[in-house]
Amino acid sequence: MALVRGCNFPDDLYYNVGENVWVRRESDGTVTIGMTPYGCALSGEIVAWTAKKVGRTVDQNKSTGTVESGKWVGPVKAPVSGEIIAVNEAAVAVPGTINTDPYGAGWLARMKPSDWAGESGPLLSGQAAFEAFEAKMQTEGFAGCA
């Protein structure tokens, strides 16, 4: 796991750096997605997670649902196209979990990707992701995760 300005980034995940979203490919070929700690820090304390319904097909870079904080409302964009097969109801019930445990109990949705091989190319992992987040934080003047 790498620390970039105090934000944790596990090196076994893929990241859509521009959208502050992480994705983990599961052994059954499905993917789990969530917000990065950087995205959570920018949002502030999350007070609501409203997910698209299970069974809904979502295109790459389109919304899987909406998070809301005291200062921001916005989409969590799908890193790849696919069908939503599960929504984290615990995060719906206690949205603050997204801030406190973004890679664990705060995951947001699981999807069955329609074309992982064709769409996962722009996702970054490992050192490439860490360097991209550092450059983004530098550009945006982000001091760091608390």
Whether the predicted pLDDT of 146 surpasses 80 = no
Would 134 be classed as within a structural domain?
no
Domain count, the chain: 1
Query: Would you tell me how many other CB atoms lie within 10 Å of the CB of residue 145?
Result: 17
CATH number, position 36:
2.40.50.100
Would 96 be classed as within a structural domain?
yes
**Cα-Cα end-to-end distance for the chain:** 17
pLDDT in tens, 31-57: 999 999 999 999 999 999 999 999 999
Would 140 be classed as within a structural domain?
no
**pTM of this prediction exceeds 0.75:** yes
d(C-alpha 105, C-alpha 82), whole Å:
22
Would 17 be classed as within a structural domain?
yes
pLDDT in tens, 90-123: 999 999 999 999 999 999 999 999 999 999 999 9
Whether the predicted pLDDT of 1 surpasses 80 = no
Distance of CA 40 to the CA centre of its chain: 9
Provide the domain limits for residue 66.
Answer: 13-115
d(C-alpha 79, C-alpha 114), whole Å:
12
Would 121 be classed as within a structural domain?
no
